[in-house]
Structure 1
Amino acid sequence: MWRHRPIIISSIVILSLVSLDARYAAWPRGHIRATPKIAPSKCDRSKFKLILDVGHTAEAPGARSARNGSEFEFNLRLAKRIEDKLKSEGFAQTNLLLTEGPARPSLFKRATAINSSKADLVLSIHHDSVPDSFLEEWEFEGWKSHFSDRFSGYSLFVSHDNPKFWTGLRFARLLGGRMKAQGLQYAHQYAQPVMGRYRRKLLDKKVGVYRYDQLIVLARTRVPAVLFEAGSIINRDEELAMESTERQDMIGAAVVGAVKEFCASR
């Protein structure tokens, strides 16, 4: 059977050439078929306004890590790294939002600042902990501390009270997909009964997007907004990972990829 293969192939080639010649003969004389135009991207990166909201304040630093670091420091470090990566990709109007003062007043300050900015997107950067009932005691460098290695992973939150809820949800799914593609897992515990009053409705079980309507930075803003818990700093192993440039670069790459896709699809 192998001896007849060249004859069959030659026949196919001849038929193809005849068919092509017939189509060419049918075109109007002198006509040249135009090359299909590629639709230009709708995304002007230089004009896309993105706010990276640094969660908490120096005065109200949020959660404590297993090694007594403040969440605010983790948030600021990661937000700066993400900002640098976005600007290097042409998103020149990426800005950090830093607020001051006690916890609750600072939340309303940031919501006001966000609404005044007319941003295209807000990403609030946080790092996760656990309810106090899950904490265990240990000693680190001579200091008493707490940890919980029970849970780990990132999570994404959107609010149905935000008027741009569906747009925010779209970006959250894009970011969750990018995080998953980096081999990172989301925190499953928020959908479990064990979380009690901290339990949230899971909107996307593939990439870890939850609904959380009580967050001011989500519910009181009028632009697409997503709160991003980048990882758990009360988990001893994950805290070390979150401090590493490797993990920060992975997260930064995920955010940049999601923002590119989000901007291009607008």
Structure 2
Amino acid sequence: MKLKLSLFAAFFFLIFSSLTFANDDPKKITIVLDAGHGGNDFGAKNSFFIEKDYTLEIVKAVKERNKNANIEIVLTRDSDQFLELNERAAFINKIKPNYFISVHLNSATSNVKNGYEVFHAPTNSNAKILAENFIQHVNYPLQNLGVKTANFLILRETQVPGILFEVGFISNQNDASYITSEEGKEKIISEILNFIQK
């Protein structure tokens, strides 16, 4: 009798285990895309473009064009709304994605400074690896300023690897002309999407 009970318990455990893990897909990943600024926080701007609108356009396009069923892309915002930095970090921590990318436009007092760059938290080794992989993969005809560290709140307070991607300097005429052109936007959207899907 004890043997029969033991065999039944083992059989039940195997059935339960198969049901519990049947839908687990090791290939499934979740990525958060964060459109910098929003609402009454305009971010960088020039006479024609505002950072908050540009970043939202980019991340929405990446999400819409993702057709890989094993990749879920979640946006911190999908409209022109203001979110505090700590709200963004809390949202990312709640989602617990594999990683996140925060998209921004750069600006400087000098109109000479140009190029794209990627930041990660100085103490996060996984974020450093993510940043280095990203900068090696992304390529478009602006100066590559490489990978840098920064103590930005969204990088510091999140519990998963994340990077902040500065697409280019809107204060530089050459950068601004490219990144706001249809060709430039299409290239940047496809570069982010291709990295996510690689």
What stretches of structure 1 of length at least 5 have no aligned partner?
Answer: 1-41, 135-147, 188-207, 262-266
SS of residue in 2 equivalent to 1:93: strand
2:167 counterpart of 1:167 = no
2:113 counterpart of 1:151 = yes
Within 5 Å, give how 1:136-147 maps onto structure 2. Answer: none
Q: Deviations over 1:214-250 (max 9, x none)?
A: x011001001110000111111232121122322222
**Number of residue pairs aligned between Structure 1 and Structure 2:** 172
Ranges of 4+ aligned residues in structure 1 off by more than 6 Å: none
Pairing partner for 2:74 from 75, 95, 114: 95
Pairing partner for 1:81 from 61, 73, 80: 61
Q: Deviations over 1:76-111 (max 9, x none)?
A: 1111122223x223454101112844xxx7101111
Match of 1:69 in 2: 49
Q: Deviations over 1:131-189 (max 9, x none)?
A: x4x3xxxxxxxxxxxxx2x021111000024xxx2222222112211223x444223xx
SS of residue in 2 equivalent to 1:127: strand
Decide whether the 8 Å contact of 2:33 with 2:103 is kept in 1: yes
Match of 1:228 in 2: 165
Paired amino acid for 2:102: S
> What is the TM-score normalised by the length of structure 1?
0.59
Seen in structure 2, the aligned counterparts of structure 1 residues 231 and 43 have a Cα distance that, compared at 3 Å, is farther
Alpha-carbon distance, 1:260 to partner: 3.2
Seen in structure 2, the aligned counterparts of structure 1 residues 75 and 176 have a Cα distance that, compared at 3 Å, is same
Paired amino acid for 1:232: F
Match of 2:100 in 1: 122
Within 5 Å, give how 1:16-31 maps onto structure 2. Answer: none
Report the Cα distance in structure 1 between the residues aligned to 2:119 and 2:157, rounded to whole angstroms: 14
Seen in structure 2, the aligned counterparts of structure 1 residues 84 and 185 have a Cα distance that, compared at 3 Å, is farther
Match of 1:112 in 2: 90
Report the Cα distance in structure 2 between the residues aligned to 1:257 and 1:89, rounded to whole angstroms: 11
Match of 1:212 in 2: 150
What stretches of structure 2 of length at least 5 have no aligned partner?
Answer: 1-24
What is the percent sequence identity of the aligned residues? 24
Match of 1:254 in 2: 191
Decide whether the 8 Å contact of 1:100 with 1:106 is kept in 2: no
Report the Cα distance in structure 1 between the residues aligned to 2:128 and 2:186, rounded to whole angstroms: 24
Paired amino acid for 2:104: H
Paired amino acid for 1:186: N
Report the Cα distance in structure 1 between the residues aligned to 2:72 and 2:105, rounded to whole angstroms: 24
Seen in structure 2, the aligned counterparts of structure 1 residues 210 and 260 have a Cα distance that, compared at 3 Å, is same
Seen in structure 2, the aligned counterparts of structure 1 residues 226 and 217 have a Cα distance that, compared at 3 Å, is same
Alpha-carbon distance, 1:50 to partner: 0.5
Q: Deviations over 1:188-215 (max 9, x none)?
A: xxxxxxxxxxxxxxxxxxxx000002x0
